[in-house]
């Protein structure tokens, strides 16, 4: 019986570790708890990239916003269709060494993300500078 339980635990861990981050994710604002967008994570040349494919806007917000605060190649580009995650590399059970852009502020942060151990439909996305960070919880879109 003990061996059966250990085998079940190992199989469950393998399933979680085998979950792919590729696909569409609903971003949830860590301050308001409201959905902000759908980001599609894709692979290109062995690295992962994330593009905004849908925006959830309040009626009083600009419906087709541009990143006027961005300072790189995203400056004055539409937020819808913008590549906000770049150059993520797999490192064990997480991805890191890439960046994430907050189109609201135009700031670019170092980034890492990983699938939640308890729920494979949740992606933890952390943007950070040195020791300061924010973590958002994104939900898999089925």
Q: What is the pLDDT of residues 8-62, one digit of tens each?
A: 343 444 344 458 999 999 999 888 899 999 999 999 999 999 999 999 999 999 9
pTM for the full predicted model: 0.85
75: pLDDT confidence band, cut at 50, 70 and 90?
A: very high
- Domains (range + CATH), the chain: 21-140 (2.40.128.520)
103, 65 Cβ separation under 8 angstroms: yes
- Residues 86 and 98: their CA atoms lie apart, in Å, by 6
- Residues 14 and 25: their CA atoms lie apart, in Å, by 22
């Amino acid at each position: 019986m003990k061996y059966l339980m250990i085998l079940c635990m190992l199989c469950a861990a393998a399933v979680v570790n085998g979950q792919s981050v590729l696909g569409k994710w609903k971003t949830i604002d860590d301050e308001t708890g409201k959905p902000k967008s759908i980001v599609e994570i894709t692979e290109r040349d062995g690295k992962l990239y994330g593009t905004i494919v849908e925006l959830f806007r309040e009626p009083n917000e600009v419906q087709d916003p541009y990143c006027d605060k961005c300072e790189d190649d995203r400056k004055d580009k539409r937020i819808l269709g913008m590549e906000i995650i770049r150059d993520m590399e797999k490192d064990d059970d997480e991805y890191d060494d890439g960046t994430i852009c907050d189109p609201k502020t135009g700031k670019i942060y170092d980034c890492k993300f990983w699938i939640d151990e308890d729920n494979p439909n949740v992606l933890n996305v952390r943007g950070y500078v040195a020791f300061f960070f924010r973590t958002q919880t994104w939900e898999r879109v089925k």
